[in-house]
Amino acid sequence: MSIFNKEVKLENIKDLDKRYEVMRKTVEYALDKCETEVSNLIEEFNESLPEDSDYNEVDTVDLSSKFSELNDYVEDYSN
């Protein structure tokens, strides 16, 4: 499992509670980083649109809740 620039081998973590926690925190970190990147890309796109453009801005009103659902996934499906 990669924590971006750091390689972590879950099978090397003997304590299963610790292994689960490392996996959960890695997923959380990845999703937080991804949410920030997606939000920044959408903001950059929206700001780059000319005022007379036929394109609509991308609304981010519900973006955070989508990532919250993904964050909840590990907890919801691990029991």
Local confidence band at 3 (pLDDT 50, 70, 90 cut-offs): low
| Inter-residue contact 30 to 2 (CB < 8 Å) | no
Looking at residue 31, its pLDDT comes to: 95
Q: What's CA 36's distance to the chain center, in Å?
A: 8
Q: Give the pTM.
A: 0.79
| Inter-residue contact 67 to 31 (CB < 8 Å) | yes
Residue with the bigger pLDDT between 31 and 79: it is: 31
Alpha-helical regions (H) of 1-79: 16-48, 63-76
Query: What are the residue ranges spanned by the domains of the chain?
Result: 2-49+56-76
Looking at residue 5, its pLDDT comes to: 58
Mean pLDDT, residues 11-19 taken together: 92
| C-alpha span between 50 and 56 (Å, rounded) | 10
What is the share, in percent, of the chain residues with pLDDT greater than 70? 91
